[in-house]
Structure 1
Amino acid sequence: MGPVHYSVLGPTLARTPDGTDVAVGGPRVRALLTVLALRAGRTVPVPDLVDEVWHGDEPPADAVAALQALVGRLRKALGRDRIVSAEGGYRLDARPEDVDARRFEHLAAEGVASLGAGDPARAAALLDEALGLWRGPALADLPDRDAEAPRWEARRLDVRRARLDAALGLGEAPAALPELTALCAAHPLDETLQALRIRALRDTGRAAEALAAYESVRRALANRLGTDPSLALRALHAELLTGPRTPEPAPAPKPRKDRAAAKREEASVRGNLRARLTSFVGRDEEIAALRDDLRTARLVTLLGPGGAGKTRLSQEAAERGAADGAWPDGVWVAELAAVTDPEAVVEAVLAAV
């Protein structure tokens, strides 16, 4: 008997190899399957299962027995061997690729990598396949979906951005513009989306509307965040004002000092560091110590209580190091705060870089 495929990017479903949907059962059974599918191949302790399946409600007096009853119903639907009892918990006997959420992450990472490698056609195919796995809100049958679903929804938005970028690379600006317009209305401060919309307007010959869109974004950022548009948006605005650049002869070699300065300038703008909304004052000794450590170690860890300024200190050190040419390839941030599955760390890092 072939592998069963599990879907959690929408209502929870199980599907046999021949495409037949399995009647899993009621809400509690679907919640149990959701939790197990998200951790396919790994044992989930009984207390964790009880907490997630009955989240928001008072668990039964004998929660362990009630959970065993749910497991029995799930085994009856899927087959006894697919739900394994082990180490004080239960495990769904499935490979990560048998779960749509994991396939989505894999396809998304490959698609984004193809886009970065200059292959928008392959990127579009991979990202379309990834987005096609979604059938509704993520983890729809999980009682505590607000804890995990936002990360999946944010990742879906990342993939939609990348797919629209690929569309522009393929010359499909007219087809991409309606979706971009709707997304920009829903996310008015998302500079990446706004830049894509401005590019789409430009590529469809609507330069005046592109300039007006940039001005609207600039005002929104200033009024709501007190900041200026990113370097990428400002460069796009300058291009709109001056028109496309014409090829120029290669410049003559510059003195060594000028090349070094240009290298530092390039490094200072590469990466995905957040735009700073306020200036940074003091802590020069800590920054100097941190930069010294970074010169000699592959991994430097900052420790301290929440709110102590660890993130801001690391960003400031990274910006200064990039400006001085310490990292010619730039500085890239991989946000791991929302990653709860160790197996998803690699995809999160790949997506960031």
Structure 2
Amino acid sequence: MQVRLLGPVELRDGERGAVPVGPRARAVLAALALEAGRPVSVERLIGAVWPDRPPATSTTQIHGCVSALRRALGPARDLLVTRPPGYLLRLEAEAVDALGFGARVREARAAERAGDAERASRLLREALGGWEGPALSGVPGLYAEAALLEEQRLLALEERIRVDLARGAAAELVPELTRLCAGHPLRERFHAQLMVALARSGRRPEALEVYGRARRVLVAELGVEPGPELSRTHLNVLTGPGAAETTLPHDPADFTGREPELARVSAALAAPGGALPIVAVSGRPGAGATALAVRAAHRMRARFPDGRLYVDLHFTADPVEVLGRLLRMLGVAELPVGRAERAELYRARTHGRRLLIVLDGAGGERQVLPLLPGGDGPAVLVTGRTRLSALPGAVHVELDPLPRGDALLLLARIAGAERVAAEPGAAARIVDLCDRLPLAVRAAAARLAGKPHWRLADFVRRLSDEDARLGELAHGDLDVRPGLAATHARLSAPARRAFARLADGSFDREGRARQENPENPSYLESRENRESRDALEELVDARLLEAVPGPSGHVGFRPPGLVRCFAREFARELTSRPEVGNATEEWG
């Protein structure tokens, strides 16, 4: 005789097959089979049949169920005996599938300890193959026992997957683990195993997406961060061999030029010595500081085998929040609350590790300083609009417009080499109207690629209209305006007022002052002039003005072409608003 509990509860006879048993007798059979070889009290049997409110005749009915089971057992009725305080079912463990399941799992564990992973995997598969559905189906009074059996099944399944991963079957496990994660979204080990399987199959970005989904579910459903195992797996995927590139943005295939700047960045980041290497890349909006940093980080994979971590600071991101993001990348599940505590833990986690931290879009030194890693090993690559001169020991790399040859090469790569070769003069004029900025040249080239019937000369005429130029240089995600607008938004009020005058074309600080006050050289030190001078210097720092030495030693100021176009749009908007329409008069 055999009793099946791993699915619908059944009594089976080797000759007769499944033996019909009533629902109450089936509950008694299940309770007895779970404890095969040991007595089960009548009280426990009553609970198996009536989990909530047993009737007054429950004891009598249990005796009736036992009698029905003995009739069902037929010649094997002696297997069910009376044994105070209840009854005992004399069956060997192999005759009860749930007990046999446990025995095979223990045998598989012993095989794995002995180094026989193949046998361990086979035994676990056999054990799991005996399940025919949810355990103890149809017996609600044994809910706790059913939940325990289901947990044992899941543990055995996790063990079998772990053994198979160790045997090198990563790719084959991905579909199964994907289904398991969908069916058990709160079971962290399945998510961790799927991450491992994906990473070992060369699918690291997907592995990191698994972690992100799992974390969102855990936070939303339980209000907790991932536990140690899933966090460690996340860190291993991030920083394991070949993993670091998955934390970086895509390396643009059309990246052009900047070889001298790349060489400086790479040399500075790889410089020997105990001090933390810091490289700060700065340039005008659209100069390609982010693209250059990403290209450099991709190139330096071998130099930083422990990982390359990228965060976008958006110029104003709170360092406390950014430290949390970095710590989660480093596998920290429980984040400290305070800034000092997070910074201390961050420095401890990065100490001695060959990590490259890419901090993109820094708004200033105060934002960056708390994000510097600790100890020997890491390096930092920062990008920003302004020169971060207060960063200790930083090597500064400033991005000028592209040389015309590189700008034309970039235009040709996207818009088509034949079109550029056919109209070389117009092509040169296009890149000049783009201020030879990579972002603007990409946008112009993308417009041309989407308009194969346009002549380059026709596009030059469109770009020559300063009131329409920025609109012509907007194509999908390629748009010069957002970077200029973000830079303008961080200006002080005096600098914004000065910015409104950029549409005039130029500034000449000292020459203008002398013309207006030839007999009063102290004018340059007056409060009014200091404010104007400070505002202009702020615009220079923000890369919205260029300082141009004049013939008589004074300094003039000139906005680049695209900045002047943006200033014209800004001035039109400003003067259309009555409450601020006269804001620029004091600069007249």
Residue equivalent to 1:33:
29
Larger Rg: 2
5 Å-filtered alignment, 1:1-353, equals 4-16=1-13, 18=14, 20-56=16-52, 58-59=54-55, 61-78=56-73, 79-115=76-112, 118-221=115-218, 228-244=225-241
Identity %: 42
Question: 1:149, CA displacement in angstroms?
Answer: 1.1
CA distance in 1, matches of 2:181, 2:232: 19
Gaps of 5+ in 2: 243-332, 338-588
CA distance in 2, matches of 1:202, 1:35: 45
Contact 2:47 2:141 in 1 (8 A): no
Partner AA of 2:97 in structure 1: D
Question: 1:177, CA displacement in angstroms?
Answer: 1.1
CA distance in 1, matches of 2:235, 2:101: 37
Report Cα offsets for 1:284-326 as digits up to 9, x if no partner.
xxxxxxxxxxxxxxxxxxxxxxxxxxxxxxxxxxxxxxxxxxx
Contact 1:198 1:213 in 2 (8 A): yes
Return the structure number with greater relative CO, CA threshold 8 A, min gap 6. 1
TM-score by length of 2: 0.38
SS in 1 for 2:81: strand
Q: Which has the higher strand share?
A: 2
CA distance in 2, matches of 1:219, 1:172: 28
CA distance in 1, matches of 2:166, 2:53: 49
Partner AA of 2:80 in structure 1: I
SS in 2 for 1:134: coil
CA distance in 2, matches of 1:54, 1:229: 39
Contact 1:14 1:22 in 2 (8 A): yes
CA distance in 2, matches of 1:11, 1:226: 36
Report Cα offsets for 1:199-228 as digits up to 9, x if no partner.
111122212211222333344445655655
Report Cα offsets for 1:43-98 as digits up to 9, x if no partner.
12223222322334542x44333222221221111132111012242111112332
Q: 1:173 to 1:82 in 2, by over 3 A?
A: same
Contact 1:227 1:277 in 2 (8 A): no
Contact 1:41 1:95 in 2 (8 A): yes
Gaps of 5+ in 1: 246-274, 280-353
SS in 2 for 1:141: coil
Residue equivalent to 1:254:
none
Count matched residues: 245
CA distance in 1, matches of 2:146, 2:180: 19
CA RMSD of aligned residues (A): 2.8
Question: 1:111, CA displacement in angstroms?
Answer: 2.3
TM-score by length of 1: 0.61
CA distance in 1, matches of 2:209, 2:139: 43
SS in 2 for 1:217: helix
Question: 1:122, CA displacement in angstroms?
Answer: 1.5
